[in-house]
Amino acid sequence: VKSEVEGKEILKGLDLTINKGEVHVIMGPNGAGKSTLASILVGHPKHELIGGDIIFDGEKINDLGVDERAKRGIFLSFQYPEEIPGLTVEDFLRTAKEAVTGEKQYINPEYAERHLNVGFSGGEKKKNEILQMAVLEPKLAILDETDSGLDIDATKIVFEGVQKLKTDDTALLIITHYDKVLDYLKPDFVHILMNGKIVKTGGKELVEEIEQNGYGKMKEELGL
């Protein structure tokens, strides 16, 4: 795909296929276009798709709005979750689930338990994001630097939560800067995104390579 924001081209021919049940990690320098990729997948109105197609479950979803995509099972945990005073987590979750399923929701004991499993009492915004994921049961969950700003214990809770929620039908797209997510999630593929494109794909050894050498050396090697 190619994309534009405020008249500026950001994604410049990015190609990615994620199959059911797979875990993909995306890494890349600041400003590479990682969050833009997440935005384009969920249909953020500020980002315009100017080339290519987004195919989800065999269907072209280029023109669908954010809510329609959410209904089909695309979930994004934002890099910077918004604070919404006055909206309790429970109400939010109930409303979100109703919007997605079209059914009235009663919080059942099974959910209550899953809440506890992912750390309901912590009050952390990002834990709540994972809680949303638990309730919405998305087919594709995109986590955009969910680990940033979390301490070690919170990271563990969040990613163990994600790992527990993952099923053979859930695809995960994890955007991160850190190798510690590998303690909890086993990626099938690791992609390096630079300058609006995926420039390298490999396994978890790529994460280690980046941790050790940074992006400069890889840029050189790839002639970028």
| Binding to Mg ion, residues 17-46 (CB under 5 A) | 34-35
Give the span between the Cα atoms of 31 and 10, in whole angstroms. 9
Does 51 bind ligand ADP (CB under 6 A)? Our answer is no
Residue 144 near residue 175, CB atoms below 8 Å: yes
For ligand ADP, the closer of residues 79 and 105 by Cβ is: 79
Compute how many residues bind Mg ion; rule: CB under 5 A.
2
Residue 207 Ramachandran class (φ > 0 left, ψ -120 to 50 alpha, else beta): alpha
Bridge partners of residue 141, in order along the sequence:
75, 172
Among 45, 46, 84, 108, binds ligand ADP (CB under 6 A): 46
For ligand ADP, the closer of residues 44 and 71 by Cβ is: 44
Does 5 bind ligand ADP (CB under 6 A)? Our answer is yes
**Burial of residue 22 (number of CB atoms within 10 Å: 0-12, 13-18, 19+):** middle
**Number of helical (H) and strand (E) elements in the chain, helices listed first:** 7, 11
Helix, coil or strand: residue 138: coil
Q: Which does 30 bind (CB under 5 to 8 A by kind): ligand ADP, Mg ion, none?
A: ligand ADP
User: Interacting stretch for ligand ADP, rule CB under 6 A, among 27-35, 63-71, 166-174, 179-187?
Assistant: 27-35
Does 32 bind ligand ADP (CB under 6 A)? Our answer is yes
User: Interacting stretch for ligand ADP, rule CB under 6 A, among 2-10, 58-66, 201-209, 214-222?
Assistant: 2-10
Does 6 bind ligand ADP (CB under 6 A)? Our answer is yes
For ligand ADP, the closer of residues 46 and 104 by Cβ is: 46
Whole-angstrom CA distances from 142 to 105, 114, 219, 221 are 24, 20, 26, 29
Report the interface residues with Mg ion, using CB under 5 A. 34-35
